[in-house]
Chains A and B, each alone.
Chain A
Amino acid sequence: MSITNFRLTADEYEANFADIHPPFENLTAALVEANRCIYCYDAPCMKSCPTSIDVPKFIKQIANENVKGSAHTIFSSNIMGGGCSKVCPVEKLCEGACVYNLMEEEPIQIARLQRYSTEQAIEKKWPLFTRKPSNGKRVAVIGAGPAGLSCAHVLSREGIDVTVYEKEAKGGGLMTYGIAAYKVTPEFCEDEVNYILSLGGIEIKYNQELGANVSVADLQSQYDAVYLGIGVGLARQLSIPGEHLDGVVDAISFIYDIRSKGYDQVKVGEKVAVIGMGMTAIDAATQAKRLGAKEVTMLYRRTQAEMPCTEVELNIAKLDGCQIVWLAAPKHVIGDEHGKVKQIVCSTMLLGEPDASGRRSPVDTGETMTLDVDMIIKAAGQMPFENLIAETNLANKYGKITIAENGVTSIDGIFAGGDCVNGGKEVVDAVQAGKDGAQGILNYLMIN
């Protein structure tokens, strides 16, 4: 057993990481689906979208063969509508609310239709937005992720000159660095960022990290307002013995490597345990399998009823051949004589009374189970940048920035939104947070 790269051939990697949601190949195919949509009024799909995309309108526009208008409708509400069409858990958002579900029929393929319009817009570089003439106001945005870019785009449209400070070498945030490659490719993410920037008025300064070479105080003195969209970063520790053995990695860095290095460069074990059952855990488990791991076992301390990921996501893992062990809480990791992971021991749990989240909390039965593994991927959630936030003196709760409406923080002129506020939600939630923050900034600068 060993952790190694180059497990597969180039063709195998390509097949394993091919698009999991193939697009409509042509207009006719898109029209068949678009024409199924009944064009609901005050539509449940729209109300279930965190960015309130006018779904019936954009689908009707496809049906009317006004694809440009359709893309404009989507981007007006969600400038990352292209990426969201690939990564949103639509089964619990728009498509989950589609009235066809109530007719016991398959919901409209909203994401696929959204992808149809937005991909064309990005590929053909349709100039769907124009910015108002510069009004001389300057805003700094920290973090070129979904929240930051969404905020920047709204601000620039209103004539504000925006400078985005990004710690990575590319924009897009978790969309670029934190999502399974079979859902969205790094190339698409780059195109999407470039499309957002094509509006003009937004400059991204890369490799600029808050706390290292950027400080909120400096930016505040140089700009009329500052928006923080720095996300969350640190993988939550398991705090169990053996956690630091060779072979224990966190899902965020594992996925980051897949996104930034190329598939054959990423090392994966033969027998892999993934801890957690959120979207990131699924992305880690499925990609470990797709990188060539022989066995992937997902360990979760509760049951399917409490899992954070959707059933659709769970089924991707199951179809990829990942094993699922419910009610298994990691207890300690056992290493071999070289300090490498050999086994993981889990406590077998039982569901007890509901906790603060309303979910039944797991109780240790005292029994254990042991799994032979050579790699452990931790995907038990991410922690906010608690120390960084403390340095800014912003009001916060365990590192999560406290905001009022429209991203208003405790410090005048500083706004925040996205994962650094909510602790980690969907891309689409971050996009909305960026819009809200932009509105807060526009109010603050008395524009509009």
Chain B
Amino acid sequence: MADISSDFLGIKSPNPFWLASAPPTDKKINVLRAFEAGWGGVVWKTLGSQVKNVSSRYSAVDYHGSRIMGFNNIELISDRPLDINLKEIREVLKEFPDRAMIISLMADNTKESWHELIKKVEDTGAHGLELNFGCPHGMTERGMGAAVGQDPEIARMVVEWVMEIATIPVITKLTPNVHSVVPTGLASVQAGTNALSLINTIQSVTGVDLDTFVPNPNVAGKSTFGGYCGPAVKPIALKMLTTIAQNETTRKVPISGIGGVSTWRDAVEFMLLGASNVQVCTAAMKHGFRIVEDMIEGLNYWMDEKGFKKLDDFIGKSVPTMTHWEDLDINYHIVANINQDKCVHCGLCYIACEDTSHQSINLDYGKPYNKYTIKEEECVGCNLCQLVCPVDDCITMVEQRKGPEYLNWKDYQRLGLPLNDH
């Protein structure tokens, strides 16, 4: 079996699966259950000034009969007294010394408050700190959370305050509610943060109740913008992660990947795009902590199959394959092929191509089953038919290069090659 133990800034954990700072890590009882289930570490729910929560707090987006494709919350940082949190952190550390214990922090916006909070937290023996510059609701109105993360200069200042006093590793958590995560990430790294984590939740309205006309979640007839997470945000998180992993400065620090990680496959994708470990929340909130069992097992089997001995063997492996559009090879051309033995004649490829793409599929009428074939000369190789096909490996994309040599858009223009004429 592969070695899936993780070393993040010297913080050891038996696996790269941490629970993100969120409701599941708010109390000792939850965290103990998580560690018993096998989680490698937790980021304790954000500590800071005293807050009070409302109810309800969550809402979700369901899709095609599947619950919680996306999840939204308007819960604030920990609403429990700081002393209780610190006491419980100590107790958990004693029971599970082999697991990573990171404490998420969001102090009032003064150097003194940050220093005071960090001292108290370090005193528990916790292994690291995560700066919450991302919470998009409730705290921003007080100049905290995303209000810090959205302004690189404020973020830089706060990270500098923190680095003046912190003696344990510091991770800065980035908000996605910006046009690019790089400026704040860059400022934080320049200010000395030891690592970055991303993404925090995305501001959202998950839906409107068609009977009450009140958006979700409903708090006494009113709603407010919440933070969106869960499987729906994964592609956005992966994109933002990639930009941090590509930037020559930000890529020098380890990254903890967050955003819709639900399975070992998701985790591997984050790690391939540069995350050293991952943090999970929504999937655990939906199914409980037991999901970590398959994350561990699945990762192990996959690494064995690919011949990876340790996590570092594949972390960041896919980053170099992400390039600019104008560097893509225009001569690379694929066309769809429908395996008639596998086709179930549902017609989904046909109608998608006919209505919304390039009319590249023939329909030979049959009762009840039509026959569908590809018009290769019309096919632009867009993948749409393959994506809508309900049968695995029924539609495949076959390579038919336009030319043997690599040819990108810049060269294409320079050579004055012909554009489409229809």
Interface residues of A (CB under 8 A from B): 31-32, 34-35, 38-45, 47-48, 63, 97, 99-100, 102-103
Which chain A residues lie closer than 8 Å to B347 at the CB level?
Answer: 40-43
Apart from A44-B345, A45-B368, A102-B344, what are 20 other A-B pairs with CB-CB below 8 Å? A31-B65, A34-B65, A35-B64, A35-B65, A39-B348, A40-B347, A41-B346, A41-B347, A41-B348, A43-B347, A44-B368, A47-B367, A63-B65, A97-B369, A99-B344, A99-B345, A99-B346, A100-B344, A103-B344, A103-B390
23 pairs of residues in contact across A and B, judged by CB atoms under 8 Å: A31-B65, A32-B65, A35-B65, A38-B346, A38-B348, A40-B345, A40-B348, A41-B347, A41-B350, A42-B347, A42-B351, A43-B346, A44-B368, A47-B367, A63-B65, A97-B368, A97-B369, A99-B344, A99-B345, A99-B390, A102-B344, A103-B390, A103-B391
With A32-B65, A47-B368, A63-B64 known as contacts, the answer to whether A42 contacts B344 (CB < 8 A) is no
Q: Report yes or no: A42 in contact with B348, Cβ–Cβ below 8 A.
A: no
Q: Count the A-B residue pairs with Cβ separation under 8 angstroms: how many?
A: 47
In the bound complex, CA of A42 to CA of B352 (Å): 12
- Closest chain B residue, CB of each to CB of A47: B368
Query: Taking the complex as formed, is B29 at the interface, i.e. its CB lies under 8 A from any CB of chain A?
Result: no
In the bound complex, CA of A34 to CA of B64 (Å): 9
Which chain B residues lie closer than 8 Å to A39 at the CB level?
Answer: 348
- A92 to chain B: closest CB distance in Å? 12
Q: Report yes or no: A41 in contact with B351, Cβ–Cβ below 8 A.
A: yes
Query: Taking the complex as formed, is B363 at the interface, i.e. its CB lies under 8 A from any CB of chain A?
Result: yes
Return the contact of A42 from the options B66, B363, B391 (Cβ within 8 A): B363
List B327-371 residues whose CB lies under 8 Å from chain A: 344-348, 350-351, 363, 367-370
In the bound complex, CA of A48 to CA of B368 (Å): 6
- A8 to chain B: closest CB distance in Å? 42
- Closest chain A residue, CB of each to CB of B351: A41
Return the contact of A40 from the options B66, B346, B363, B391 (Cβ within 8 A): B346
- Closest chain B residue, CB of each to CB of A96: B368
List B238-254 residues whose CB lies under 8 Å from chain A: none
- Closest chain B residue, CB of each to CB of A99: B344
Which chain A residues lie closer than 8 Å to B390 at the CB level?
Answer: 38, 99, 103
Q: Report yes or no: B65 in contact with A42, Cβ–Cβ below 8 A.
A: no
| Interface of chain B: mostly helix, strand, loop or mixed | loop
List B265-321 residues whose CB lies under 8 Å from chain A: none
In the bound complex, CA of A145 to CA of B144 (Å): 73
- Closest chain B residue, CB of each to CB of A43: B347
In the bound complex, CA of A31 to CA of B67 (Å): 12
Which chain A residues lie closer than 8 Å to B350 at the CB level?
Answer: 41-42
Which chain B residues lie closer than 8 Å to A63 at the CB level?
Answer: 64-65
List B376-398 residues whose CB lies under 8 Å from chain A: 390-391
Which chain B residues lie closer than 8 Å to A32 at the CB level?
Answer: 65
- Closest chain B residue, CB of each to CB of A102: B344
Which chain B residues lie closer than 8 Å to A34 at the CB level?
Answer: 65
Which chain B residues lie closer than 8 Å to A45 at the CB level?
Answer: 368
Interface residues of B (CB under 8 A from A): 64-66, 344-348, 350-351, 363, 367-370, 390-391
In the bound complex, CA of A46 to CA of B102 (Å): 58
Which chain A residues lie closer than 8 Å to B368 at the CB level?
Answer: 44-45, 47-48, 97
In the bound complex, CA of A32 to CA of B65 (Å): 6
- Closest chain B residue, CB of each to CB of A44: B368
Return the contact of A44 from the options B64, B66, B369, B391 (Cβ within 8 A): B369
- Closest chain A residue, CB of each to CB of B350: A41
Which chain B residues lie closer than 8 Å to A103 at the CB level?
Answer: 344, 390-391
Which chain A residues lie closer than 8 Å to B369 at the CB level?
Answer: 44, 97
In the bound complex, CA of A47 to CA of B370 (Å): 10
Which chain A residues lie closer than 8 Å to B345 at the CB level?
Answer: 40, 44, 99, 102
In the bound complex, CA of A31 to CA of B65 (Å): 7
- A74 to chain B: closest CB distance in Å? 19
Which chain B residues lie closer than 8 Å to A41 at the CB level?
Answer: 346-348, 350-351
In the bound complex, CA of A47 to CA of B367 (Å): 7
Which chain B residues lie closer than 8 Å to A47 at the CB level?
Answer: 367-368
Which chain B residues lie closer than 8 Å to A102 at the CB level?
Answer: 344-345
In the bound complex, CA of A410 to CA of B96 (Å): 92
- A296 to chain B: closest CB distance in Å? 35
Which chain A residues lie closer than 8 Å to B64 at the CB level?
Answer: 35, 63
- Closest chain B residue, CB of each to CB of A39: B348
In the bound complex, CA of A393 to CA of B117 (Å): 102
In the bound complex, CA of A171 to CA of B267 (Å): 64
- Closest chain B residue, CB of each to CB of A49: B368
- Closest chain A residue, CB of each to CB of B363: A42
In the bound complex, CA of A100 to CA of B345 (Å): 10
In the bound complex, CA of A103 to CA of B393 (Å): 13
In the bound complex, CA of A40 to CA of B343 (Å): 12
In the bound complex, CA of A39 to CA of B351 (Å): 11
In the bound complex, CA of A44 to CA of B346 (Å): 8
- A286 to chain B: closest CB distance in Å? 29
- Closest chain B residue, CB of each to CB of A31: B65
- A250 to chain B: closest CB distance in Å? 35
In the bound complex, CA of A100 to CA of B344 (Å): 8
In the bound complex, CA of A102 to CA of B391 (Å): 10
In the bound complex, CA of A43 to CA of B368 (Å): 8
- Closest chain B residue, CB of each to CB of A36: B65
- A136 to chain B: closest CB distance in Å? 40
In the bound complex, CA of A301 to CA of B345 (Å): 38
In the bound complex, CA of A39 to CA of B65 (Å): 14
- B366 to chain A: closest CB distance in Å? 9
- A235 to chain B: closest CB distance in Å? 34
Cβ-closest 8 pairs across A and B: A35-B65, A41-B347, A44-B368, A41-B351, A99-B344, A102-B344, A40-B346, A47-B368
Which chain B residues lie closer than 8 Å to A44 at the CB level?
Answer: 345, 368-369
- A70 to chain B: closest CB distance in Å? 16
- A448 to chain B: closest CB distance in Å? 27
Which chain B residues lie closer than 8 Å to A40 at the CB level?
Answer: 345-348
In the bound complex, CA of A48 to CA of B345 (Å): 14
- Closest chain A residue, CB of each to CB of B66: A35
- B16 to chain A: closest CB distance in Å? 34
- A399 to chain B: closest CB distance in Å? 30
Which chain B residues lie closer than 8 Å to A43 at the CB level?
Answer: 346-347
- A36 to chain B: closest CB distance in Å? 8
In the bound complex, CA of A189 to CA of B355 (Å): 42
- B395 to chain A: closest CB distance in Å? 14
Residue among A34, A41, A45, A100 having the largest count of chain B Cβ atoms under 10 Å: A41
Which chain A residues lie closer than 8 Å to B391 at the CB level?
Answer: 103
Which chain B residues lie closer than 8 Å to A48 at the CB level?
Answer: 368
- A42 to chain B: closest CB distance in Å? 5
Which chain A residues lie closer than 8 Å to B65 at the CB level?
Answer: 31-32, 34-35, 63
In the bound complex, CA of A35 to CA of B69 (Å): 15
- A34 to chain B: closest CB distance in Å? 8
- Closest chain B residue, CB of each to CB of A40: B346
Which chain A residues lie closer than 8 Å to B346 at the CB level?
Answer: 38, 40-41, 43, 99
In the bound complex, CA of A40 to CA of B352 (Å): 11
- B194 to chain A: closest CB distance in Å? 46
- Closest chain A residue, CB of each to CB of B368: A44
- Closest chain A residue, CB of each to CB of B389: A38
Which chain B residues lie closer than 8 Å to A38 at the CB level?
Answer: 346, 348, 390
- Closest chain A residue, CB of each to CB of B63: A35
- A29 to chain B: closest CB distance in Å? 11
- B345 to chain A: closest CB distance in Å? 6
In the bound complex, CA of A44 to CA of B372 (Å): 13
- Closest chain A residue, CB of each to CB of B349: A41
Which chain B residues lie closer than 8 Å to A100 at the CB level?
Answer: 344
In the bound complex, CA of A63 to CA of B64 (Å): 8
- A12 to chain B: closest CB distance in Å? 39
- A89 to chain B: closest CB distance in Å? 15
In the bound complex, CA of A39 to CA of B64 (Å): 12
- Closest chain A residue, CB of each to CB of B210: A65
- B413 to chain A: closest CB distance in Å? 39
